[in-house]
Amino acid sequence: MKRAAKANHALKIVRRILTVLVVAAFALWIVSATAVLIWSSRDEARPAQAIVVLGAAQYAGKPSPVLRARLDHALDLWNRHLTSLLILTGGTGSGDTTSEAAVGRNYARKHGVPDSAILVENEGRTTSESMRAVAGMLEVRGLQTALLVSDPFHMLRLRILARRFGFTPYTSPTQTSPISPNREERWKYIFSESLKAPLAFFFERKL
C-alpha cells in the first residue's frame, strides 16, 4: 500500500510538472506569435549604415516574386538615400548554379545601384547563417546599424538575430510580397516564425 501511495504521489508530481511545462510553452508561443504580428506591421525605415536584403528563391537567374518584392523595397529605400551600402544575402539552392545574392546583385545593378555600393553574402543557406555572415561583414568595416528588408513575418526573428550577433537592427518589411495577400500562406509563415523566434532568442549567440 505504501509503495502504491508513493507511486501515485510521484505520478501526480510528474503530471503537475508536465502541466506547468505545457502551459508555459503555450504562453511563450502566444507571446511570440503576438510579437511576430506586432513587428510585421512596424516600419522603422531611417538612415542606417547598410541595407540588408534577406534572400528568397530565384529561378534561372531571375528573382522569384517574393525576392523581387524584397529587392524593390530595398531599392525604394536606397533611392530615398537612407544608406550608401546594400548587402544582398542568400546562398545557392539545390540544383542551382546561381546564388540568391548574385541574382539580387544583378537586379540592383540594373536598377542603378553601383557595384561599389553592393556587398554579397552568398554562402548562407538559412536565415541564421546569412545574418551571422552579415554581422561579420559589418564588423570588419566598423559598421553598427543596418536596415533589414524581408517579408513582414520575418521581422521579429531578424531583430533577434541581429542583436544576438552584435549589430543594431531597424526593420522595414516589404508590403508587396505575394505572400501577404494569401491568408493561408501568410498564417503558415507567421506560425512558423512564432516557433523559430524563441529558439533564436534562447539559443543563437555570437561566436
| pLDDT tens-digit map of 182-199 | 999 999 999 999 999 999
Assess if residue 10 is contained within a domain: no
Question: Structure pTM?
Answer: 0.90
Please compute the mean of the pLDDT values over residues 28-37 and round it to a whole number.
Answer: 96
Assess if residue 90 is contained within a domain: yes
Assess if residue 130 is contained within a domain: yes
| pLDDT per position as a tens digit, 60-97 | 899 999 999 999 999 999 999 999 999 999 998 877 88
Assess if residue 1 is contained within a domain: no
Burial of 115 (0-12, 13-18, 19+ CB in 10 A): exposed
Q: CA 117 to CA 109: how far, in whole Å?
A: 10
Question: Domain of 56: which CATH number?
Answer: 3.40.50.620
Burial of 92 (0-12, 13-18, 19+ CB in 10 A): middle
Assess if residue 178 is contained within a domain: yes
Which set of grid coordinates corresponds to residue 75?
Answer: 531599392
- 7 band by pLDDT with thresholds 50, 70 and 90: low
- 28 band by pLDDT with thresholds 50, 70 and 90: very high
- 3 band by pLDDT with thresholds 50, 70 and 90: low
Helix axes 2-40, 183-203, angle to 10 degrees: 120
| pLDDT per position as a tens digit, 84-131 | 999 999 998 877 889 999 999 999 999 999 999 999 999 899 999 999
Q: CA 91 to CA 120: how far, in whole Å?
A: 10
Domain residues for the domain of 120 are 39-203
Assess if residue 99 is contained within a domain: yes
Q: CA 154 to CA 35: how far, in whole Å?
A: 11
Q: CA 60 to CA 63: how far, in whole Å?
A: 8
* DSSP type of residue 92: P
The total number of structural domains that make up the chain: 1
Assess if residue 171 is contained within a domain: yes
Residue 1 in this model has a pLDDT that exceeds 60: no
The kind and range of the H/E element at 127 are helix 127-140
Q: CA 132 to CA 90: how far, in whole Å?
A: 12
Q: Are strands 51-53 and 145-149 parallel, antiparallel or unpaired?
A: parallel
Assess if residue 24 is contained within a domain: no
| pLDDT per position as a tens digit, 166-183 | 999 999 999 999 999 999
